[in-house]
Amino acid sequence: MSFPASRRQFLKTASAGTASAFTATSYARIVGANERIFPCLFVIVAVLSAAHAQAATLHVGAASCDITPDMPPFLAGQFSPRVSQGAEYPLTANVLALESRDGDKPLDSAIIISVDTGAVRASILLPIRAAVQQQLPGFDVGKLIVAATHTHSAPPTRDGQFKQQEGVQVPSDYVKFAAARIGAAAQQAWNARRPARFSAGLGHAVVAYNRRAVYADGTAVMYGPTNVPHFRALEGMEDHDVNTRFFRDTGDKLLAIVVNVSCPSQEVENNRLLSSDYWGPTREMLQEKSGRDVTIVGLCGVAGDPSPHLRYRQMRPDPISAVSCRA
Ligand SMILES: [Zn+2]
């Protein structure tokens, strides 16, 4: 095994290792490990399936859609304007629809949507809600959960963040385009729901490093150098848990995998290409292993200062690691 040639290769390697660790573990283990960082889905699935355990069956549907813009937009995530010159990995939205039923009687429901965007601001949340409501008039949008993968390589969703340029897509036009597709995907997932069950997994992968470096004088600097004599430590913790939920129908067909990683998707945050960042190759690999039609719902767990950028050993392989890798 050779030392990873680049951070992106490293991430591919790390996520490949994680994928192989995606085996179902005992539910009790997951309850203890996940409550603090994976609360939403845990509560939803638990309520949907366990609270009505006497009589309820879980029904699940999933769908994905491509929300890569069809004309060059700005890229959000840096202070200065960047105009997209193409797409590295497509931007997607991935939808999981959940419903519990007692016979034919619906008991509770939720739709979870992971979106390759920077943040779920009102500027995109409200149009998504309206689009879902239009497609599914009977669905309570109070039970719609929209999450961002926090890529820094997706269009802004608010007009006026950057001075508009000719030939560059207006952010609100992009939002209309994306929300319409996401609403259609929500309808597709909802209509596809069928009796299903779920299992849970816990793997580990070093995706995040804390971005704040602490120095001998007690100061800390975001992305400060770590190869200087007065560097002492990274300031805060990183969470390397990779929590998963696997949803299968009664014929054991895998419908969707929800993967929670406590790290924003922003390894390639400075270039001029649209990208879902590490979720792009991660989804590709998981679908190679699990099936092209399996929906991968990537969630960003608690990750204020964690970042996917290498914070040390950036210049050359650590000789000890290189030796142990060869061994
Ligand atoms: Zn950010």
In angstroms, what is the span from residue 152 Cα to ligand 1's centroid? 6
In angstroms, what is the span from residue 68 Cα to ligand 1's centroid? 19
In angstroms, what is the span from residue 209 Cα to ligand 1's centroid? 14
**Which secondary-structure segment (H or E) carries 121?**
none
Residue 282: closest CA among 274, 270, 294: 294
**Which secondary-structure segment (H or E) carries 92?**
strand 92-102
Task: Answer for the pair 156, 80: CB distance below 8 angstroms, yes or no.
Answer: no
pTM tops 0.85: no
In angstroms, what is the span from residue 322 Cα to ligand 1's centroid? 32
Task: Answer for the pair 122, 201: CB distance below 8 angstroms, yes or no.
Answer: no
Task: Answer for the pair 91, 67: CB distance below 8 angstroms, yes or no.
Answer: yes
In angstroms, what is the span from residue 32 Cα to ligand 1's centroid? 29
Q: From CA 294, how far away is CA 327, in angstroms rounded?
A: 36
Question: Given 3-state DSSP classes, what are the helix, strand and coil percentages for the chain, each rounded to the nearest 5?
Answer: 30, 30, 45
In angstroms, what is the span from residue 149 Cα to ligand 1's centroid? 10
In angstroms, what is the span from residue 3 Cα to ligand 1's centroid? 28
In angstroms, what is the span from residue 194 Cα to ligand 1's centroid? 37
Residue 267: closest CA among 27, 14, 1: 14
Q: Output the DSSP codes for 280-295.
A: HHHHHHHHHHH-TT-E
Residue 192: closest CA among 133, 253, 283: 253
SS3 annotation, 168-202: CECHHHHHHHHHHHHHHHHHHHHHCCEEEEEEEEE
pLDDT, residue 4, reads 38
pLDDT, residue 325, reads 42
Q: From CA 205, how far away is CA 203, in angstroms rounded?
A: 7
pLDDT, residue 312, reads 85
In angstroms, what is the span from residue 118 Cα to ligand 1's centroid? 7
Describe the strand order of the beta sheet including 254-261 as a list of residue ranges: 144-148, 105-115, 92-102, 57-66, 194-204, 241-249, 254-261, 295-300
Spans of the chain, pLDDT less than 50: 1-8, 10-37, 324-327
- SS3 assignment, position 126: helix
Pull the structure tokens for residue 170.
Answer: 């207006």
Q: Output the DSSP codes for 263-280.
A: S-S-TT-SSSSB--TTHH
